[in-house]
Amino acid sequence: MLPRTIGVLLAAGLAATAVTALGSTAATADTAGSAGSTTGHTLPADTRFSVTPDNEAARQALTDLQHHDLPDAVTMAKLATWPEATWFTSGTPDQVRTQVRNTVRTAQAEHAVPVLVAYYIPLRDCSQYSAGGAPSDAAYQQWISAFAQGIGDSRAVVIVEPDALANLPSDCSPTTDPTGTLTAGRIADINYAVTALEARPQSVVYLDAGNSQWHSVGDMANRLLQAGVARTQGFFLNVSNYQPTDQTDHYGTWISKCMWFATAGPDWARGHADWCASQYYSSAAPNDGQPGDAVVSTDPSTWHWTDAWYDQNVGTPPASQLSHFVVDTSRNGLGAWTPPAGKYSGDPQTWCNPPGRGMGDRPTAATGVALVDAYLYIKTIGESDGACTRGTAGPGDPEYGGAVDPAAGAWWPEQAVTLADNAVPELTFNSGVHR
């Protein structure tokens, strides 16, 4: 037992922190600038993001305190003071309209900007770990219309459907979408979402672009263009993933330049995002867009060849014509996980609850990178990616002693503490200045 005086003081301090995170973002996050500091569909560098009321970390801090786990309680109290995105994953149109309206109004009262994640696309996650979503394209379009109505005239950053473009129905399996009908419906749904969300006067909308270890630059650029990215502020990267921030910034800048190259660049390039140089390389030559230079692996040490291609073929496009993007830094402070050599003969699932990772750059709209509008905590820190077996017979996860990981989206206190303890930079209480 702690001495009564010390225990009371610590409890009071932690309770105050948790109550602040639960009920008033003003003391835990920067307040927004004047009402006239931003208009339209942009994200200024002085944007301040709201802390979600009643967040998981704040509740965990109180639980840990009640169990006299003071180190973890302090860690969770720190995490509770930082802004994270609010996810909307289900519900009727009326329900999501109300939920979104309540979220933006709470943020508005605190002079802050919420980050909202719409995650209800049909055939979500190829019906795997995060299966769910709307039962039809028509149902989705009703739902996303209501989502947009909930935003109203308030300021909001909207992350539209993580993995929806990087993991199209045609990517799921050879038999999932043999005619292409489902994929066409997916593209139509995202275009519909863009139209609905961009009708809100102060929404800032970003579309899915996966991560730097997934699709090639040209492939991702094509998908974004088909989905209506030109009518938005841009795209988002690295949601729920672990790729380093500098590499993600690099990849995103190439995607933006590639889209310009294929739509507003030289006449010979129009419609040919597939000609853009990629982050991937074969063992013999850079993927310079020529047939036969299909890729085998990615190695950032070779990315100077891709840079050279863009310098030669794209140059410096007008800044006003380039798409911007945001990066999820919630779990990439230590970069991606490399499995022990020879440990797994099957898929080690490096994306799925990799051990020993840490939080990355704090949320800010002052990134110092020309096309990067913000670093954000989009994935809820401490939520599981799903029950990973890493190519083994399972049912447990070999990286966690054979225990079965929590279901996708479930709160996992041990993972939250690990990510926070390994944060780069070191996790502190949010003093209200995180620019």
CATH number of the structural domain spanning residue 196: 3.20.20.40
Residue 174 placed within a domain: yes
Side chain identity at residue 388, one-letter code: C
Residue 285 placed within a domain: yes
C-alpha dihedral (284, 288, 291, 296), degrees to nearest 10? 50
| pLDDT confidence of residue 435 | 33
Task: Print pLDDT tens along the chain (435 aa).
Answer: 333 333 433 444 554 444 444 444 433 333 333 323 334 688 999 999 999 878 999 999 999 999 999 999 999 999 999 999 999 999 999 999 999 999 999 999 999 999 999 999 999 999 888 889 999 999 999 999 999 999 999 999 999 999 999 999 999 999 999 999 999 999 999 999 999 999 999 999 999 999 999 999 999 999 999 999 999 999 999 999 999 999 999 999 999 999 999 999 999 999 999 999 998 865 445 544 444 444 445 678 888 888 999 999 999 999 999 999 999 999 999 999 999 999 999 999 999 999 999 999 999 999 999 999 999 999 999 999 999 999 999 999 999 999 999 999 999 999 999 999 999 999 999 987 333
Half-sphere exposure of 309 (CA within 13 A, CB side): 22
Q: How many CB atoms lie within 10 A of CB 200?
A: 22
Residue 28 placed within a domain: no
∠ CA 61-381-246, rounded to 5°: 135
- Relative orientation angle of helices 245-263 and 217-226, to the nearest 10 degrees: 60
Q: In DSSP terms, which residues pair with 328 in a beta bridge?
A: 376
What is the C-alpha separation between 358 and 336, in angstroms, rounded?
A: 10
Total domains in the fold of the chain? 1
What is the C-alpha separation between 245 and 362, in angstroms, rounded?
A: 11
Residue 39 placed within a domain: no
Residue 431 placed within a domain: no
Residue 35 placed within a domain: no
- Residues 280/287, Cβ–Cβ less than 8 Å: yes
| pLDDT confidence of residue 301 | 80
Helices (H) and strands (E) in the chain, counts: 11, 9
Residue 60 is part of which domain span? 4-23+47-421
Q: Which helix (H) or strand (E) holds 306?
A: helix 303-313
3-state DSSP percent of the chain in helix, strand and coil, to 5: 40, 10, 50
Residue 426 placed within a domain: no
Separation of first and last alpha carbons in the chain = 40
| pLDDT confidence of residue 31 | 33
Residue 434 placed within a domain: no
Across 13-22, b (16+ Cβ under 10 Å) vs e yields: ebeebbebbb
